[in-house]
A = this chain, B = another copy of it.
Amino acid sequence: MESGTFTIASKALRELVNITPPIEDILASLPSGSGVLYLFNPHTTAGLTINEGADPDVSRDIIKGLEHIVPLHLHYRHLEGNSPAHIMALLTGSSLTIPFFDNRLQLGTWQKIFFCEFDGPRTRSVSWQILHDSAKASDQPRNQEK
Protein backbone atom coordinates (compact mmCIF):
# COMPACT_ATOMS: atom_id res chain seq x y z
CA MET A 1 0.00 0.00 0.00
CA GLU A 2 1.62 3.22 -1.19
CA SER A 3 0.86 5.71 1.54
CA GLY A 4 2.56 7.47 4.40
CA THR A 5 2.86 10.54 6.60
CA PHE A 6 5.33 13.38 6.93
CA THR A 7 5.68 16.19 9.48
CA ILE A 8 5.93 19.96 9.18
CA ALA A 9 7.34 22.35 11.79
CA SER A 10 5.61 25.71 11.40
CA LYS A 11 7.38 28.74 12.85
CA ALA A 12 4.68 31.43 13.05
CA LEU A 13 1.07 31.93 14.17
CA ARG A 14 -0.06 32.09 10.54
CA GLU A 15 2.20 30.94 7.74
CA LEU A 16 2.25 29.20 4.36
CA VAL A 17 4.93 26.48 4.44
CA ASN A 18 6.17 25.20 1.05
CA ILE A 19 5.93 21.40 1.27
CA THR A 20 6.73 20.71 -2.39
CA PRO A 21 10.28 19.38 -1.71
CA PRO A 22 9.28 16.55 0.70
CA ILE A 23 6.44 15.57 -1.65
CA GLU A 24 8.82 15.43 -4.62
CA ASP A 25 11.10 13.20 -2.53
CA ILE A 26 8.20 10.84 -1.75
CA LEU A 27 7.25 10.53 -5.42
CA ALA A 28 10.88 9.96 -6.44
CA SER A 29 11.15 7.05 -3.97
CA LEU A 30 8.16 5.16 -5.41
CA PRO A 31 8.16 2.57 -8.21
CA SER A 32 7.70 4.19 -11.60
CA GLY A 33 4.18 5.43 -12.23
CA SER A 34 1.77 8.17 -13.22
CA GLY A 35 -1.57 9.24 -11.76
CA VAL A 36 -2.85 11.36 -8.90
CA LEU A 37 -1.29 12.04 -5.50
CA TYR A 38 -3.67 12.66 -2.59
CA LEU A 39 -2.74 14.72 0.51
CA PHE A 40 -4.86 14.88 3.69
CA ASN A 41 -4.46 17.31 6.59
CA PRO A 42 -5.83 15.92 9.90
CA HIS A 43 -5.75 19.30 11.71
CA THR A 44 -8.74 21.65 12.20
CA THR A 45 -6.79 24.93 12.36
CA ALA A 46 -4.68 24.40 9.24
CA GLY A 47 -5.19 23.72 5.54
CA LEU A 48 -3.56 22.72 2.26
CA THR A 49 -3.38 24.80 -0.91
CA ILE A 50 -1.56 25.21 -4.21
CA ASN A 51 -0.47 28.74 -5.17
CA GLU A 52 2.45 30.80 -6.45
CA GLY A 53 5.79 29.83 -4.96
CA ALA A 54 8.26 31.85 -7.06
CA ASP A 55 7.84 35.11 -5.11
CA PRO A 56 7.56 34.54 -1.32
CA ASP A 57 5.65 37.84 -1.09
CA VAL A 58 2.60 36.06 -2.52
CA SER A 59 2.43 33.76 0.54
CA ARG A 60 2.69 36.76 2.85
CA ASP A 61 0.01 38.65 0.90
CA ILE A 62 -2.31 35.63 1.13
CA ILE A 63 -1.93 35.54 4.93
CA LYS A 64 -2.46 39.31 5.11
CA GLY A 65 -5.56 39.00 2.92
CA LEU A 66 -7.02 36.20 5.06
CA GLU A 67 -6.45 38.32 8.21
CA HIS A 68 -8.66 40.99 6.60
CA ILE A 69 -11.25 38.57 5.24
CA VAL A 70 -11.83 36.59 8.45
CA PRO A 71 -12.96 38.68 11.46
CA LEU A 72 -10.25 38.14 14.09
CA HIS A 73 -12.12 39.63 17.05
CA LEU A 74 -15.79 38.80 16.56
CA HIS A 75 -17.81 37.80 19.63
CA TYR A 76 -16.96 34.10 19.12
CA ARG A 77 -18.27 31.47 21.56
CA HIS A 78 -15.49 28.84 21.31
CA LEU A 79 -13.45 29.47 24.45
CA GLU A 80 -10.12 28.32 23.01
CA GLY A 81 -9.95 31.63 21.11
CA ASN A 82 -8.91 30.19 17.76
CA SER A 83 -12.22 30.35 15.86
CA PRO A 84 -10.63 32.53 13.13
CA ALA A 85 -8.19 29.66 12.48
CA HIS A 86 -11.09 27.20 12.15
CA ILE A 87 -12.76 29.53 9.63
CA MET A 88 -9.52 29.93 7.64
CA ALA A 89 -9.29 26.11 7.59
CA LEU A 90 -12.79 25.91 6.05
CA LEU A 91 -11.90 28.53 3.42
CA THR A 92 -8.69 26.68 2.47
CA GLY A 93 -9.76 23.03 2.56
CA SER A 94 -8.36 19.88 4.15
CA SER A 95 -7.07 17.90 1.19
CA LEU A 96 -5.36 18.22 -2.20
CA THR A 97 -5.07 16.09 -5.31
CA ILE A 98 -2.16 16.67 -7.71
CA PRO A 99 -1.46 14.91 -11.02
CA PHE A 100 1.94 13.28 -11.52
CA PHE A 101 3.62 11.69 -14.53
CA ASP A 102 6.66 9.40 -14.41
CA ASN A 103 7.02 10.18 -10.68
CA ARG A 104 7.11 13.96 -11.24
CA LEU A 105 4.43 16.40 -10.04
CA GLN A 106 2.56 18.04 -12.94
CA LEU A 107 2.30 21.46 -11.31
CA GLY A 108 1.91 24.66 -13.31
CA THR A 109 4.95 26.86 -13.91
CA TRP A 110 4.44 29.00 -10.78
CA GLN A 111 2.67 26.48 -8.56
CA LYS A 112 3.99 25.12 -5.28
CA ILE A 113 2.17 23.07 -2.63
CA PHE A 114 1.69 24.79 0.74
CA PHE A 115 0.73 23.70 4.24
CA CYS A 116 -1.33 26.58 5.66
CA GLU A 117 -0.68 27.11 9.37
CA PHE A 118 -3.39 29.22 11.02
CA ASP A 119 -2.70 28.47 14.73
CA GLY A 120 1.04 27.91 15.11
CA PRO A 121 3.82 27.51 15.64
CA ARG A 122 3.32 23.74 15.94
CA THR A 123 4.50 20.40 14.66
CA ARG A 124 1.92 19.16 12.17
CA SER A 125 1.50 16.07 10.01
CA VAL A 126 0.10 15.40 6.54
CA SER A 127 -0.78 11.96 5.17
CA TRP A 128 -0.53 10.93 1.52
CA GLN A 129 -1.75 8.15 -0.76
CA ILE A 130 -1.36 7.35 -4.42
CA LEU A 131 -5.01 7.83 -5.31
CA HIS A 132 -4.80 6.53 -8.83
CA ASP A 133 -2.02 4.86 -10.74
CA SER A 134 -2.82 5.11 -14.41
CA ALA A 135 0.24 3.12 -15.38
CA LYS A 136 -1.35 0.06 -13.86
CA ALA A 137 -4.66 0.77 -15.58
CA SER A 138 -3.02 1.26 -18.97
CA ASP A 139 -1.14 -2.06 -18.69
CA GLN A 140 -4.39 -3.90 -19.17
CA PRO A 141 -7.16 -3.40 -21.71
CA ARG A 142 -10.09 -1.39 -20.34
CA ASN A 143 -12.88 -3.59 -21.71
CA GLN A 144 -11.76 -6.99 -20.50
CA GLU A 145 -14.63 -8.86 -22.06
CA LYS A 146 -13.54 -8.03 -25.58
Cα of A86 to Cα of B49 in the assembled complex, Å: 11
Contact check: which of B40, B43, B111, B133 meets A44 at CB < 8 Å?
Answer: B111
A22 to B112, CA, bound (A): 28
**Cβ-defined contact, A61 with B87, below 8 A:** yes
- Judge whether A91 is part of the interface by a CB distance below 8 angstroms: yes
What CA separation (Å) do A33 and B90 show in the bound complex?
29
Per assembly, the copies of the chain total 3
What CA separation (Å) do A97 and B95 show in the bound complex?
7
A138 → chain B closest CB, angstroms: 4
A108 in contact with B42 given A97-B95, A134-B2 (CB within 8 Å): yes
Render A105-123 as a binary contact track against B, CB cut-off 8 A, 1 for contact.
Answer: 0111111000000000000
CA distance A38 to B100 in the complex (A): 13
Q: Which residues of A contact B (CB under 8 A)?
A: 1-3, 31-36, 38, 40-44, 49-52, 55, 57-58, 60-62, 64-66, 68-71, 74, 76-80, 83-84, 86-87, 89-99, 106-111, 127, 129, 131-139, 142-145
